[in-house]
Structure 1
Amino acid sequence: MNDISLDVPADLLLPESGTGPGIVLFQEIFGVTDYIRSRAQDLADLGYVVLVPHLYGRLGDPVVEEGGDGLPRAMALLEELDWQQAVEDGVAAVAALREHPSVEGGVGVLGFCFGGGMAFNVAAVARPAPDALVSYYGSALPNLLGLAPDVTTPSLHHFGDSDAYLPLATVRDIERAVTEGHDDVTVRVHPGGDHAFDNPSPMFHHAEASATAWEETTRWLESHLPVEAPATRR
């Protein structure tokens, strides 16, 4: 079901109840892959109304396979992307989801890799701000830390301690920036996790880090963007 109007393609997933809080899910660098769609379904199964904007939609909406030469191709694709336009598309997605009749409660943002940085940037500029932010190893975060004072949304950040793209020293710099002056920020560093450890592709996946991070994410969302039991809804 997709009845949200945006300037880029978008997927809308409803929970079994038909209503719930909203989450805008931002893709990895590879596009809206089967992995991203599966995580969107996981969130819908938890009771959330999930919107997945296709941020490569203005580039023809490509999807790049993770294996082989996929990463260089995805990096080249990212070079073509107009970041600020993508941020505007992300902000529009948050606003549209807030207005959707199936959304009861707040609206959060969640992103993986490229999408983790995008979620952070959207949280900095969207007004009203998202009610929750979850960022998995946001690859753009080192270049976005000047926005940290503007991110007042409660947030959860996941990183791996073996990330070749975001070394631990960089992660600590990010942690200092995103926590300074903010009370409700949680940073988790997962042993053994490299970049994109939640992605199920064998070249990225770290089973323990992925499972632990997702369990923490679901608990954190229960606290910060709670799904009410159907009987308690108005």
Structure 2
Amino acid sequence: MPAKYITLNAKDGSGSYTGYLALPDSGTGPGVVVIQEIFGINTPMREICDQLANQGYMALCPDFFWRQEPGIQLNDKIQKDWDRAFELYQGFDVDKGIDDIQTALSWLRKADGSNGKAGVIGYCLGGFLAYLSACRTDADAAVGYYGVSIDSKLDEADNIKGHLLLHVATEDEFVDKAAQQAMHNALDNHPHITLHDYEGMNHAFARPGGTHYDEKAAKKANDRTLEFLKTRLG
């Protein structure tokens, strides 16, 4: 089925924002909220949604920077876009972002063709938000790729009732060794959390075309993600 943009209404009544929605050919399946990196709903994020739709998921990528600059799409290969992305990241309200994720989860659960289950997948900033979604929303499953700042919110892990999968790049330029160790210390024994380390990999190793893209590691992480989603969402 063709992809389209939909409109979501903010939980706090402050306005509305768009989301890119890709549906499986059957028009039915579990829902997945795809949480963007710091570059907006750009081509890589839309491609991830399309790929998930091909696997049978209703994939929705909301615009998380809509309060600052609606509809922005940035290119990770252009320096001025990197600069703008970090400005948006620094001005991003995490708590309102989590509210937007809950809104998207609720929308997917009620959508025509939904099986009633919904999870999240996030990358970079989105990896952090995926972790917080596991802690603060009703997501049935959450997957975080090279999430930043997770070590600052480890005290929330006890709130996780769904299931969480984290992909950790051991040479992540934005998540140092101390942060990685803190994550393992706090999360390894949690019954609902699985961490996988990718030795020698840097941040964004699963972003096709990116500076640190590694096909072998990306495939391993993506295969693990699909198996996890199949188990948790159907």
Q: TM-score, normalised by structure 2?
A: 0.89
- 1:207 maps to which residue? 215
- In structure 2, give the amino acid aligned to 1:67: K
1:131 CA drift (Å): 0.7
Contact 1:191 1:209 (8 Å CA) reproduced? no
* Residues 79-228 of structure 1 mapped to structure 2, 5 A cutoff: 79-126=90-137, 129-180=138-189, 182-226=190-234
Q: Distance in 2 between matches of 1:50 and 1:184?
A: 23
Residue 48 (structure 1) aligned to one of 57, 68, 90: 57
For residue 8 of structure 1, give the secondary structure of its aligned residue in structure 2. Answer: strand
Name whichever structure is richer in strand by fraction.
Answer: 2
Do the aligned partners of residues 66 and 48 (structure 1) sit closer, same or farther apart at CA in structure 2, a change above 3 Å counting? same
1:2 CA drift (Å): 4.3
Q: TM-score, normalised by structure 1?
A: 0.89
Q: Distance in 1 between matches of 2:175 and 2:69?
A: 29
Q: Distance in 2 between matches of 1:124 and 1:202?
A: 30
1:4 CA drift (Å): 5.2
Q: Distance in 2 between matches of 1:77 and 1:5?
A: 20
1:32 maps to 2:41: yes
1:3 CA drift (Å): 4.8
- 1:71 maps to which residue? 82
Contact 2:119 2:141 (8 Å CA) reproduced? yes
Q: Distance in 2 between matches of 1:11 and 1:96?
A: 13
1:200 CA drift (Å): 1.8
For residue 11 of structure 1, give the secondary structure of its aligned residue in structure 2. Answer: strand
For residue 215 of structure 1, give the secondary structure of its aligned residue in structure 2. Answer: helix
Of 168-177 and 147-156, more deviation after overlay is shown by 168-177
Contact 1:137 1:158 (8 Å CA) reproduced? yes
Contact 2:64 2:100 (8 Å CA) reproduced? yes
Q: Distance in 2 between matches of 1:114 and 1:178?
A: 19
* Structure 2 alignment gaps of length 5 or more: 10-15
* Structure 1 alignment gaps of length 5 or more: 227-234
1:41 CA drift (Å): 0.8
Contact 1:132 1:224 (8 Å CA) reproduced? yes
1:107 CA drift (Å): 0.6
Cα offsets for 1:113-162 (capped at 9, x unmatched) = 10111122122222xx1111111111131222121111222111001122
- In structure 2, give the amino acid aligned to 1:94: L
CA RMSD for the aligned pairs? 1.6
1:83 CA drift (Å): 1.9
- In structure 2, give the amino acid aligned to 1:216: R
Highest relative contact order (Cα 8 Å, sep 6+), 1 or 2? 1
Q: Distance in 2 between matches of 1:5 and 1:77?
A: 20
For residue 8 of structure 2, give the secondary structure of its aligned residue in structure 1. Answer: coil
Count of residue pairs brought into register by the alignment:
223
